[in-house]
Amino acid sequence: MLSWMAWTWPTALVFIGIFSAIGVLILLEIRSPGGAARKGVLGLTTTRGDRLFITLLGTSYIFLAWLGLVGMPLWSPLGLAIAWGCFTFWKV
C-alpha cells in the first residue's frame, strides 16, 4: 500500500525522530503546561516548540551548507548540529 511512497529506512528514521521529538514535547506540555516560554540570547521569546523548530531548521541548513561547500562525509556537520541543538535548548 505504501510502496508508492518509496520508503527507505534512513528517511523513515528521520521522520520517526521528528515525530518522537514532537511526542516528547506533548508529554512535557501535559506535565508542565505553558511551553516554558522565556526570553533567550537572541532577544526572542521562545517556547519549547519554537526551540525544536529552530533546532531542526538550523540543522537542515548546517547539513545543506556542508554538503554544498565541503561535501562528504557528514560527521562534522552532525557534531555541529548536535551542538546547535544543545545551544538552542539551553540559551535561545
Partner 1 sequence: MKTENQKAWFFVLPVLVLVAFNALIPMMTVVNYSVQETFGDNVFFWQGLDWFQQILRSERFHAALGRQFLFTGLILAIEVPLGIAIALSMPRKGIWVPVCLVLMALPMLIPWNVVGAMWNIFTLPDIGLLGYFLNHVLGISYDMTQDPIAAWVTIITMDVWHWTSLVVLLAYAGLVSIPDAYYQAAKIDGATNWSVFRFIQLPKMKTVLTIAILLRFMDSFNIYTEPFVLTGGGPGNSTTMLSIDLVKIALGQFDLGPAAAMSLIYFAITLLVSWLFYTLMTKDDLN
Binding-site ranges for partner 1 (CB under 8 A): 3-8, 10-11, 14-15, 33, 39, 43-45, 53, 57, 60-61, 64, 67-68, 71-72, 74
- Give the DSSP H/E element, type plus range, for residue 26: helix 9-31
Distance, CA of 23 to CA of 19 (rounded, Å): 6
Q: Which is nearer to partner 1, 6 or 27 (CB)?
A: 6
Q: Which is nearer to partner 1, 50 or 89 (CB)?
A: 50
Considering the complex, what minimum distance in angstroms separates the CB of residue 20 from partner 1?
A: 15
In this structure, the number of other CB atoms found within 10 A of the CB of residue 1 comes to 4
